Amino acid sequence: MPAGCYLQAFADDLILVVRGRSKGDIETCAQIALDKLIAWADGHKLQFNCTKTTLLPVTFGGRLSLADPPRVSMMGHEVQVVSNFRYLGVWWDSSLTFTVHFNKVRSRVDLLSYRISMVAERFYSRRGRLFLRLYKGALEPFILYGHGAWGYRLRLQRIRTSLNSIQRKPLLRITRAYRTVSTVTLQVLAGVMPLDLKAKGVFATFLVSVARVNARIGTVTLRSADYLRRFNYTEVHPRSWHSIPYTSQEPTGFDFELFSDGSKDADRVGSSLVVFYHGTEIHHEECRLSDHASVFQAESHGLRMALTYVATLRSWVPQGHTFFRCDGLHDPEVP
């Protein structure tokens, strides 16, 4: 690909991002990249659909205009210029305001709220909080989908207002309040977080765990270096994978046995490890984790402590067997 070109593919959906100093540079780089893509497709007996291929000039910043957009061709056909398009569930517009996206999300949420309420209404008298569970489990994640794309726009009041207005109709269903009740009051009555604040938290998590950059929420700064990086299985060749079997059984009292645990008491989270050799304790350690850590993270950290200790045994017990003991079968399954 030419310099300034970035290709993103998911299944059979491809997006080509081209940047340049001028419209002419963009046209030149985009044409070269498209020609290479077409040549690659021909070599693999594939074909692109010219009618579904569109061009979206990003007018954010004022250097490009929809009235005079870049022109590129594909297999002899000029690529259609559009003001917005959908990619992986997110509607992108030329100004990167995501107004089209939130308008479509609002329409969809209103329809889903109505349909879900028709089903939940039958059980409302017996399970009054049923619709709240449906909201938190289905509607809220649907509204916040794509936060990695539009999250940086949360600093705009218009985006924050749009999120809270989208949240309004589901809250009316949950609280059964009058339509004249304010959105802030509905949020308090329903016991849910304002959606703009929820979005800030979700976007901060994305920045720290996925983008690996520091995030700031109010006066609190979240440093990506303080969080473990997600393990990517595709970076390790299958030949290098090692399977560690696990079963449910009682301690034997022979050889090395390591017992790990993680717990959360009120706001305190910690992990612990104790090591026995033929029934005699030879080592133990404790570790205090962040108050925001979960029990699963504490138990995973306990296993990490055990693995770190096992690494110190290789020098003098190369042929020995080491057994891990944890308090739940879900521990070995934690990624």
Q: Which of 58, 87, 116 is the last residue of a domain?
A: 87
Q: Is residue 27 in some structural domain?
A: yes
Same domain, 109 and 68: no
Instruction: Look at residue 60 in the predicted model and tell me its pLDDT.
Output: 78
Q: What average pLDDT is seen over the chain?
A: 84
Q: Which of 224, 240, 268 is the last residue of a domain?
A: 224
Q: Is residue 246 in some structural domain?
A: no
- Tell me which of 12 and 87 has the higher pLDDT: 87
Q: Is residue 232 in some structural domain?
A: no
Same domain, 109 and 219: yes
Same domain, 162 and 198: yes
- Tell me which of 180 and 63 has the higher pLDDT: 180
Give 335's pLDDT tier (boundaries 50, 70, 90). very low
Q: Is residue 130 in some structural domain?
A: yes
Same domain, 218 and 265: no
Q: Is residue 94 in some structural domain?
A: no
pLDDT at 320 over 60: no
Give counts: helices (H), strands (E), the chain: 9, 14
Q: How many angstroms separate the CA atoms of 102 and 142, rounded?
A: 11
pLDDT at 332 over 50: no
Give the closest residue to 274 by CA, choosing from 260, 262, 264. 260
For the entire predicted model, the pTM comes to 0.72
Q: How many angstroms separate the CA atoms of 138 and 143, rounded?
A: 9
In whole angstroms, how far apart are CA 28 and each of 19, 32, 55, 114, 274? Answer: 11, 6, 14, 49, 64
Which residue range(s) make up the domain with 204? 99-224
Q: Is residue 323 in some structural domain?
A: no
pLDDT-wise least confident of 77-86, 155-164, 222-231, 276-285: 222-231
Between helices 195-206 and 157-175, what is the axis angle to 10°? 120
pLDDT at 333 over 50: no
Residue 264 in tokens: 């959360």
Q: Is residue 185 in some structural domain?
A: yes
Same domain, 68 and 105: no
CB atoms within 10 A of CB 258: 22
pLDDT at 67 over 90: no
Same domain, 103 and 219: yes
Same domain, 143 and 201: yes
Same domain, 126 and 9: no
Same domain, 16 and 60: yes
Q: Is residue 324 in some structural domain?
A: no
pLDDT-wise least confident of 1-5, 51-55, 123-127: 123-127
pLDDT at 250 over 80: no
Instruction: Look at residue 328 in the predicted model and tell me its pLDDT.
Output: 52
Give 234's pLDDT tier (boundaries 50, 70, 90). confident
Number of domains in the chain: 3
pLDDT at 114 over 60: yes
Same domain, 214 and 112: yes
Cite the beta strand spans of 56-194 per DSSP E.
Answer: 73-74, 77-78, 80-81, 84-87, 90-93
Same domain, 83 and 115: no
Same domain, 122 and 82: no
